[in-house]
Copies of this chain bind each other. A is one copy, B any other.
Amino acid sequence: MSTALKSVRSIAPLLDRILVQRVKPEAKTAGGIFLPESSVKELNEAKVLAVGPGAMNKDGQRIAPSVQPGDKVLIPQFGGSPIKVGEEEYSLFRDHELLAKINE
Contacts and interface: CB of A to CB of B under 8 A. Distances in A.
Interface of A: 1-5, 10-15, 17, 19, 23, 25-26, 41-45, 52, 56-58, 60-61, 63, 66-67, 73-74, 76-77, 81, 83, 92, 96, 98-104
Contacts of A96: 14-15
24 contacts: A1-B76, A1-B77, A2-B25, A2-B41, A2-B44, A3-B74, A11-B74, A11-B101, A12-B101, A13-B99, A13-B100, A14-B66, A14-B73, A14-B98, A14-B101, A15-B66, A15-B96, A17-B100, A19-B100, A52-B100, A56-B63, A76-B81, A83-B99, A92-B99
Given A1-B77, A4-B26, A60-B61, A12 B66 contact: no
